[in-house]
Amino acid sequence: FLLSTKLENKKKGKLQKQICQVVLDHFEKQYATELGGTWTSVRDVLTYPLCWQYAVLLNKFSQSAELENTLRVKGYHPAFQGSLPYLPASFKCYIRRSPGRFPAQRHQAGKLKEYYLLNAASVLPVLALEVKDGEDVLDLCAAPGGKSVAILQCAYPGQFHCNEYDDLRSRWLKQTIESFIPDPLINLITLSRLDGRQIGDLKPELYDKVLVDAPCSNDRSWLFSSDLQKATLRLVQRKELTSLQFQLLRSAIKALRPGGSLVYSTCTLSKAENSDVINLILSSCSNVMPVDITEMAKAVSQEFTFLRGMQQHELLVLPEKGRAWGPMYIAKLKKM
């Protein structure tokens, strides 16, 4: 027992050392104001990776009943149950209350992976998008590809356009798609490296559904920045992200067909990158309206903790011990 306690403390010490104080101080100032008393418990989860929850998204193209049995034996249960407004039977995602990570699978050429490990909150934007068979879909900022894979677990789009501007992330996206999607279907997926801000002008009114999982200040990874100079620069450049996010959303609206819908998501708690960006879009674009997603929130409230006081078209998943983790902001809009 003493030895395991020592090892645990050593592990804790290692994790504590990795926390970037500059980033934590910045977050303390901002989030104590924005989240009030909730910030203390959120901070405890964000700064302690040993309590993070990893979900297991099953790949319907490489199904294994054995895998589902193994997950159940290890204490996993389906994350999403029947009462959701949109939950295709083919979509299977498992989580468990206790923290930990199921073993990852390596990329093997010619062999499909059976599952994708991810933050369970990151599939909520996909479920909010409600993709149906035959619809033309754009994933505007698609790398590393988890949400693209999740979309394909739900439905077979007519056209599926996965875009990623960054070269390194684009290669990562390509590998993810190759690891999860079989040959006949892979041919229906278009991978591109376009500037997301220009897609609306290049492909106007071409899509029924658009996902904008925007570049944002990634609270979890930023807290563990090992390069102090880089972390400080990130915090300085943080203010510029809202302009990029706004431009990406405007481009996405142009790319949407009238009647089509759009989901915007980030993995930050920052109000400036979340509600403020959406409010600016709603006040400056007369052809979009908010879509109520409170039914989805109610249906998953057993697994996720949401920030109170949000508007009906938006959700913010707060990290909490023993719950499916975040942060994840989701907002849904419809084009008139």
Are the CB atoms for 326 and 304 separated by under 8 Å?
Answer: yes
169-210 pLDDT, tens digit per residue, is 999 999 999 999 999 899 889 999 999 999 999 999 999 999
Three-state DSSP at 124 gives helix
Name every residue whose Cβ is closer than 8 Å to that of residue 263 and which is 6 or more positions away in sequence. Answer: 125, 126, 128, 129, 209, 210, 211, 212, 330, 331, 332, 333
pTM for the whole structure: 0.94
**Is the model's pLDDT at 155 over the cut of 80?**
yes
206-246 pLDDT, tens digit per residue, is 999 999 999 999 999 999 999 999 999 999 999 999 999 99
Q: What is the residue type of 233?
A: L
136 marked as binding residue? no
The pLDDT value given to residue 97: 85
Mean pLDDT is lowest, of 98-112, 132-146, 190-204, 322-336, for 98-112
The pLDDT value given to residue 7: 45
195 marked as binding residue? yes
The pLDDT value given to residue 321: 87
275-288 per-residue burial string, b: 16 or more CB within 10 A, e: under 16: bebbeebbeebeeb
330 DSSP β-pair partners: 265, 315
Over range 34-62, report the average pLDDT.
93
The pLDDT value given to residue 161: 98
Question: Is pLDDT larger for residue 6 or for residue 154?
Answer: 154
Question: Is pLDDT larger for residue 225 or for residue 3?
Answer: 225
Q: How confident is the model at residue 17 (pLDDT cuts 50, 70, 90)?
A: low
Are the CB atoms for 293 and 314 separated by under 8 Å?
Answer: yes
Lookup: tokens for 145: 């590809």
Question: Which runs of E-coded beta strand occur in the chain?
Answer: 55-58, 77-78, 93-95, 115-118, 137-139, 160-163, 189-192, 207-213, 256-266, 288-290, 305-306, 314-318, 328-335
Q: How confident is the model at residue 10 (pLDDT cuts 50, 70, 90)?
A: very low
- Which of the residues 51, 154, 267, 285 is marked catalytic? 267
The pLDDT value given to residue 6: 44
164 marked as binding residue? yes
Over range 272-300, report the average pLDDT.
97
Q: How confident is the model at residue 63 (pLDDT cuts 50, 70, 90)?
A: confident
Our answer to whether residue 51 is catalytic in this structure is no
**Is the model's pLDDT at 100 over the cut of 90?**
no
Q: For residue 138, what are the CA distances in angstroms to 85, 112, 168, 211?
A: 22, 23, 20, 6
121 marked as binding residue? no
Name every residue whose Cβ is closer than 8 Å to that of residue 168 and which is 6 or more positions away in sequence. Answer: none
Q: What is the residue type of 245?
A: Q
307-316 pLDDT, tens digit per residue, is 999 999 999 9
Name every residue whose Cβ is closer than 8 Å to that of residue 145 and which is 6 or more positions away in sequence. Answer: 162, 172, 173, 175, 176, 177, 180
Are the CB atoms for 150 and 90 separated by under 8 Å?
Answer: no
267-281 pLDDT, tens digit per residue, is 999 999 999 999 999
The pLDDT value given to residue 1: 46
**Is the model's pLDDT at 3 over the cut of 60?**
no
List, in order of start, the domains of the chain with CATH numbers: 21-335 (3.40.50.150)
213 marked as binding residue? yes
104 marked as binding residue? no
